[in-house]
Amino acid sequence: MIFDDLRAIQLRHGFLPKAELESLSARTQMPLYQIHSVASFYPHFHLVVPPKAEVRVCVDMSCHLNGAPELRADLERRFAGAPAEAVQIRDVSCLGRCDLAPAVAINDQIFTEVTADRAEQIARSALRGDTVHEEHPHVPRVACASDPYVDGTGVGEKYGVFRALTHTKDFAGVLALLKESELRGMGGAGFPTSMKWDLVRREPATPKYVVCNADESEPGTIKDRFIMTHLPHLLIEGMAIAGIVSGAKIGILYIRHEYHLQEEILGEELRRCYQMGLLGKNILNSGLDFDLQIFVSPGGYICGEETALIEAIEGHRAEPRNKPPFPVAEGLFHKPTVLNNVETFVNVPQILARGVEWFKSQGQGGSRGWKFVGVSGQVVNPGVFEVPMGTTMREVLFTHAGGIRGGRTLKAFAPSGPSSGYLPASMVDVRLDFKALADAGSMLGSGAIVVCDDTTCMLDMALNAVRFYRNESCGKCVPCRVGSQKMTDLLVRWTQGGLTEPQYRADLALLDELSAAMGLASICGLGQIVPAPIQSVLKHFRAEVDAHVLQGKCPSGICFSPAVRAGEANRVGIRP
């Protein structure tokens, strides 16, 4: 695999020297351009010698709300004048530590709730040549309400559903139950799970694959990290069930590379499963085979797009494919593929163990089942919470997450990261439900709730979101590649104020045209969703935007501060 080869080279040299890539090309018969094209796509790979201390401050949503711009500016001051080969302070896209903001990656090791003092101390130790290590404090397993195997429920030992199924082989029954449960994909799109599995099951082509998307990278999304930490057995069981039901013999768990700890936990659980004969050939003497392996993502938000993720597993640039065909027909290696989010797989053994009636009864207000939500931003108690589907946002924010930090008031919240746009505090009674949120002009998405208090500038948050998309665009299609940059340029201009009314009107019209084109013309969901944050802000917080553009005033006093400005230049241009 190309990524293994590249990682091995990088481990040896700290970067990818030309000579090594040339010999890799000679050895593998892979053309040079192809190696470079892949290596230059993923930020994880260094094509030039990296600095001794590479400090990368997460600047997306939750970290942005928790002092990342100031932290970055402070660090730049502290290392002012340091040569580029010694220290580089740069931005990085969401590291998936939104509940422990701000997060900083130093030499690819992630540190959370970082102060400038601590970051400086770690960077200085890296400068001295020490190897830095991220910390993994012991996290006790949390008993989840939705875990059917939690002590005392009497359902039986772990993997009970899967064991029984290898015996009964009643796959049609599983699909019928899932259909009745109306389980939908939990990754954002909400496609009916039973239909997806059934489509793959009916495909004549073999081999088939089951792929788990554990690449959650949307700012604010931390629920899969929690699930993989506390319910790894349900994930593996769900994937194995998907495998035998759909007829796939190979499963791949695609995990983001920033989740070192979860990779370990899952690896250990996998070993246990193999020891128990639950995975591998002839599972429990049933004649069924299913192998499951972990694939560590080479990195990038776009890898979470299902076809980009498939491209990455195939060793290509993670560029989304044109659809149709969909992965159910032509997925991994152009074979039928079940591709689901972590939480979707975890839901399956729950439903099969406890029954559809139980699943239906768990939701509130007509919704079904449980939902893991990550709450981050300006709340007292950020973290992941397991709540019944249909719970109101108010209950999530004020009961589970402890309300707004510092006694301030709620101004806005994103129900699911930048992609869901921002809703105003007045809509806090919206229920966590596919339909309710869609009706509110937002979406349930991946349950990445980001909370903004009354000190937040919403234009700044919109710009922050657009920048995130701009940085994470794969560049394959024009509307997203160029459009995300032009939208960033436009919003940067707005935050600087000083436009006349006709200019502003022209800009607004241009923004609408661009938004429509991006939404309609982009290949994948990333490009299509880029306009959502600014459009939601224009819809709900128009006066605030007007104040910036027409009066040169940021009502929240954010936009004209140097800390927020820092870093724009570093994020454009050719990555070294």
Partner 1 sequence: MATTATPPGLVDLVIDGKPVRVPAGTSVFDAARMNGVTIPTLCHLQNETPVGVCRLCLVEAGGRVLSAACVRPVDPGMKVVTNSDKVLSARKTVLELLMSDHPTPCARQQHSGDCELETQAHAAGIKQARFAKRSVARGRDESSLAIAVDHDACILCDRCIRGCDEIKNNFVLGRMGKGYSAGIAFDLNSPMGESTCISCGECMVSCPTGALTNRGVVGTAIAKTTDAQVFDAEELLQIPVFKGVSGTFLELNTGAIVKRKFRAGELICKEGDFGSTAFYILEGRAQVSISTPIAHVKTDGGAKGFFKKLTSSLVSRTEDKRDEERRDRTIPIDASVDLNYGSPVAELGAGDLFGEMTCMNFYPRSATVRAVSDVVAYEMLRNVLDIMLKNKSFRAQIDANYRRRALENHLRGVPMFADLAPDFIEHLKESVELQRFSPGQMITRQGDPADCFYLVRIGFVKISENYPGGELVLAYLSRGDYFGEIGLLGGGVRTATCTALDHVEVVRISGDDFRQMIERFPTVRAGLAAVAEERQQANQQRMQMLQTVPIDQFLSQGLMEAQSLLVLDLENCTRCDACVNACADAHDGVTRLVRDGLRFDQYLVATSCRQCRDPLCMVGCPVGSIRRRNSLEVIIEDWCIGCGLCARNCPYGNINLHPFEVIVDDPEHAGRKKAAIKQKATSCDLCTHLKEPSCVYACPHDAAHRVDPKTFFSEMLGQGSTK
What are the residues binding partner 1 (CB under 8 A)? 18, 21-22, 31-37, 40-43, 47, 300, 317, 322, 324, 470-479, 481-486, 489-490, 493, 506, 510, 513-514, 516-517, 519-523, 528, 572-575
How far apart are CB 503 and partner 1 at their closest, in Å? Answer: 11
Cβ proximity to partner 1, 13 vs 281, nearer residue: 13
Q: 3-class secondary structure for 29-94? A: CCCHHHHHHHHCCCCCCCCCCCCCEEEEEECCHHHHHCCHHHHHHHHHHHCCCCCCCCEEEEEECC
How far apart are CB 19 and partner 1 at their closest, in Å? Answer: 9
How far apart are CB 322 and partner 1 at their closest, in Å? Answer: 4
Residue pair 238/205 in contact by the 8 Å Cβ criterion:
no
Residues in the chain: 576
In 3D space, the residue among 418, 511, 510, 513 whose CA is nearest the CA of residue 469 turns out to be: 418
Distance between alpha carbon 239 and the CA centroid of its chain, in Å?
A: 19
How far apart are CB 44 and partner 1 at their closest, in Å? Answer: 12
Phi then psi dihedrals of residue 563, to 5 deg: -60, -40
User: Within a 10 A sphere around the Cβ of 108, how many other Cβ atoms?
Assistant: 18
Residue 248 tokens, joined:
């796939």
In 3D space, the residue among 320, 321, 300, 312 whose CA is nearest the CA of residue 469 turns out to be: 300
Residue 199 tokens, joined:
């489509």
Residue pair 234/201 in contact by the 8 Å Cβ criterion:
no
How far apart are CB 174 and partner 1 at their closest, in Å? Answer: 30
Cβ proximity to partner 1, 207 vs 325, nearer residue: 325
How far apart are CB 317 and partner 1 at their closest, in Å? Answer: 7
Cβ proximity to partner 1, 166 vs 515, nearer residue: 515
Amino acid identity at 120:
E
Distance CA 153, CA 358 (A): 13
How far apart are CB 253 and partner 1 at their closest, in Å? Answer: 24
Residue pair 263/294 in contact by the 8 Å Cβ criterion:
yes
Beta-strand relationship, 209-214 and 250-255: parallel
How far apart are CB 492 and partner 1 at their closest, in Å? Answer: 9
Cβ proximity to partner 1, 23 vs 381, nearer residue: 23
Cβ proximity to partner 1, 353 vs 523, nearer residue: 523
How far apart are CB 42 and partner 1 at their closest, in Å? Answer: 8
Cβ proximity to partner 1, 440 vs 490, nearer residue: 490
Phi then psi dihedrals of residue 410, to 5 deg: -75, 135
How far apart are CB 484 and partner 1 at their closest, in Å? Answer: 7
Residue 353 tokens, joined:
């163990």
Whether residue 324 has a cis bond before it, omega within 30° of 0: yes
How far apart are CB 107 and partner 1 at their closest, in Å? Answer: 21
List Cα–Cα distances, 398 to 19, 149, 409, 451, in angstroms.
57, 30, 11, 11
Cβ proximity to partner 1, 143 vs 572, nearer residue: 572
Amino acid identity at 41:
F
Q: Can you point out the beta strands (E) in 342-454?
A: 370-377, 383-388, 410-414, 423-424, 448-453
Cβ proximity to partner 1, 35 vs 245, nearer residue: 35
Cβ proximity to partner 1, 163 vs 467, nearer residue: 467
